[in-house]
Structure 1
């Protein structure tokens, strides 16, 4: 049984974590600066609910160690991992001894030579702060949850919406649950974990539509049961090839029977719906969707160039889509249908355009420096439409107009999620005929703006055709790789408290 603890009127809580989605099917590598780490007191500035004067800020004595979050990308290098984790542990060791720790991660980080990186880091954290510290872990629902990660966490939760409109609400819930547990002095929660052998892309499991809408609605119902603190379903991260990668359910609480029953109910609901999951938008070929957009009158018509989506782990510099777009005769004249394309990195191209200035005609080459498997670098001759400096991700952005195509080129890769991402570059996405973005499901602002929308099934490191990618290390059988597999064992696996040993291999 979990041991009883003494209530803490104003507990000391540390904050630490690293987060990224890492595609192992991309040739890109992620290095330490990509995480933009916050340190010490600046860690608290990341969270509005921990601002001075907020209830949770006053409920505990907060100490930031190190929190870093990277744009999704390729595998994290061993050097970056060592640099960031060593600093995190060093800073954590220098803090006052905590009663609790909030572990703020994504959950899909792949590191060179390290499997289950978040569980490995949590083990180091526990060795630093001691076994009695209560850990609350918050994650993306596209993270991967091993039994080791559940064991190391006393509380664990994830987002309940895709797109992740509840990301800050989830973090606040994880913190509130931690504070409540520390202040009450209640025993460590019991935990039930159920691995579900399903691995689907986020674009197939959006909570905007069924069946994910109903599958996730059951989470709140489970959480409302007496004796349950939190319930969570992870879809998993499909573009990494690791043994831990699959869907999972974890329920935590004080009542072992309620926790186990809730976990099994959620797991069964996810499994039974597996054949019903479909893409969140109609799909098609890149050229076919362009033909449809040009033939119709829905404006603006959004096209998701899905295979190189940087917010899912794509390298971002695949030129396949832009190359095909520029080859279309419809867009060669200035008065052709207006198309905005976001985006392709090209540091040298950006430097040339910046030096030439707005209004100048330039010939530049961009893309395919990292991922050249599908198309080579693309050369554009056009007019510099805009230049912008200072973006957190891109650093510098330029727009080059080629005929009626406005191509956004960046120094470093950047996702385009918000209307201001375009208007800051003197572009009018609402007035465009077609807007092409490297993305999967449209983020809320773009979704609300779109009149037409389809997802183009394009090549890249986050190809939506999972089966053809060639996973070799995931546990099999796994849906949809083994569509006719028999029903799995979805009984709840009780996970001992973090201060008790984890034994066996009940996978």
Structure 2
């Protein structure tokens, strides 16, 4: 079979084909909308949650759009609009409609475009929709027209439904979790798009298949097998003659939609080879489904705290995984703070703990009004999640305000009670790097308890030892207790016994 060509030069008479004048530069747009949305999180993501970038600021996000990059001689990059948010709850419909309208309007205004670098995540949920990325991508395709090649760069925790993928020409995803290759993924999507347009290769074949497995990211880290080998094999598949790209998505475990499951896409000019390789990757993922394990040792909150206090490893890090804002958690649950204060050694100050990132704007305002050094009594937590269960109850906190600072534009107040110092934030904020802590030195505490899942690289390097606490929340690692109702069944691990043989037959989009 031969690939179908979208005539990427349809808006050019291509005089270079007969050697009369140099080839014109390609016009390639850049835009997208990216968020990871937990449907089990009571937070709702609004327009104010998104960082919206346009014009020169949008081009400046990427290293490969500059004048010194080799692609500069071939491409005129056309900035459209890009909106990205910290993961959270589902996006309100008005926000989705507003960003979609701006993106598609700018595409039409910029026409004609030879290509589009589509910078998205893949796990966006929108109130009232069941496949938000498919809705957005259908609108984008309508705006570009069929002649424009669209190359999507995605997070491996995204979902790839048939309705979504059929509108795309190339699609790729991160190959590392944690996502140390996030910017490399975007660059790969751009360079492969340019290569196809420059060579006139046209629209490639896309072999797509979903795998009925849905696992949390903390069980699919590429630091460990089997994900390490599965994702490590993608470069070899990509290197085959006739293959352009190969990608595996683990899906997003904290949405409750039929599209939520693993997927494989192999793209290239050799249709049969793409189908064969996609089938092999899908079968490898399915066969390994029971081998996936948590990226680190786990335990319930009290168990993790007791082990950390008793350890001599310092600092000892604990992940408050159920309320991880960078996976979609509300970030306002005081459950872990309550368990820290209930530990005798921490309460008495015989051991120390730093617990950053508890979202509570009212408590932060009270601390800033009182000032550093003041004694204060607060009820913290549950700002968004109140009423969702006993784990969302506020926690009584009485202590000294030891720090007031602005972190990435977010006011943060640190309050110390006994040996426990909690950092309250006026907005949801991750703590992934040493710089995120500001004037507080996390290495000066016995325990550091962070609202995160697997540790990001700087935290991983900082930790003398660590544990993944299986805490409740909007991104609970125990998927079976969350109450999924709308995922397509059968689906592992929701279904297991008698679910041995599945048909994994890739199809060409």
The alignment's TM-score, normalised by the length of structure 2, stands at 0.94
Query: Where does residue 493 of structure 1 map in the other structure?
Result: 507
- Asked whether the 8 Å contact 1:107–1:145 carries over to 2, the reply is yes
| Aligned residue number for residue 481 of structure 2 | 468
- Give per-residue Cα distances to partners, 1:271-300, cap 9 Å, x unaligned: 111010000001011111111111121111
The correspondence of residues 361-376 of structure 1 with structure 2, limited to 5 A, is: 361-372=375-386, 373=389, 374-376=391-393
2:360 paired residue among 346, 357, 361: 346
State how 1:56-455 maps to structure 2 within 5 Å. Answer: 56-333=71-348, 335-372=349-386, 373=389, 374-389=391-406, 391-392=408-409, 395-422=410-437, 424=438, 426-455=439-468
CA distance in 2, matches of 1:38, 1:49: 17
Q: Structure 2: state its 5+ residue gaps.
A: 15-22
Aligned-residue offset at 1:92: 2.2
56-65 or 154-163: bigger deviation:
56-65
Deviation at 1:331, TM superposition (A): 2.1
The two structures, once aligned, show a CA RMSD in angstroms of: 1.4
Greater Cα offset, 396-405 or 156-165: 396-405
Q: Deviations over 1:421-459 (max 9, x none)?
A: 12x1x2222221100001110000101111111111110
Contact 1:226 1:258 in 2 (8 A): no
The Cα of 1:336 is off from its aligned counterpart by: 2.5
Q: Which residue of 2 aligns with 1:20?
A: 35
The separation in 1 between residues aligned to 2:147 and 2:259, in whole angstroms, is: 27
Gaps of 5+ in 1: 496-507
Q: Contact 1:30–1:73 at 8 Å: present in 2 too?
A: yes
- Is the contact made by 2:321 and 2:471 (CA closer than 8 Å) also made in structure 1? yes
2:45 maps to 1:30? yes
1:50-95, Cα deviation, whole Å (9 max, x unpaired): 2342223443111111111111100111111112111222222222
Distance 1:203 1:191 in 2: 29
Query: Which residue number in structure 1 is paired with residue 5 of structure 2?
Result: 3
> CA separation in 1, counterparts of 2:6 and 2:122?
29
- Secondary structure (helix, strand or coil) at the match of 2:135 reads helix
SS of 1:62's equivalent in the other structure is strand
Report the number of matched residues: 490
- Please state whether the residue corresponding to 1:337 is helix, strand or coil: coil
| Shift in alpha-carbon separation, 1:404–1:52, aligned structure 2, 3 A | farther
- Cα distance in 1, alignment partners of residues 447 and 395 from structure 2: 20
Q: Deviations over 1:98-144 (max 9, x none)?
A: 11011100000000111211121111112112111000001000000
Distance in 1 of aligned mates of 2:361 and 2:148? 46
Residue of structure 2 in register with 1:502 after alignment: none
Query: Which secondary structure state, in structure 2, belongs to the residue aligned with residue 26 of structure 1?
Result: coil
Q: SS at the partner of 1:76?
A: coil
Question: 1:158-209 CA deviation, whole Å, 9 max, x = no partner?
Answer: 0000000000000000000011111111121001001100000000000001
Evaluate the alpha carbon distance shift between residue 456 and residue 4 of structure 1 in structure 2; reply closer, same or farther with a 3 A threshold.
closer
- Tell me by how many angstroms 1:46 deviates: 1.3
For each residue in 1:297-321, what CA deviation from the matched residue of structure 2 results, as whole angstroms up to 9, or x when unmatched?
1111111111111011111101111
Counterpart CA distance in 1 for 2:450 and 2:306 is 17
Q: Secondary structure at the match of 2:461?
A: helix
Distance 2:505 2:97 in 1: 37
Is the 8 Å Cα contact of residues 6 and 147 (structure 2) preserved in structure 1?
Answer: no
User: Whole-Å Cα distance in 2 between the matches of residues 55 and 305 of structure 1?
Assistant: 44
Contact 1:346 1:365 in 2 (8 A): no
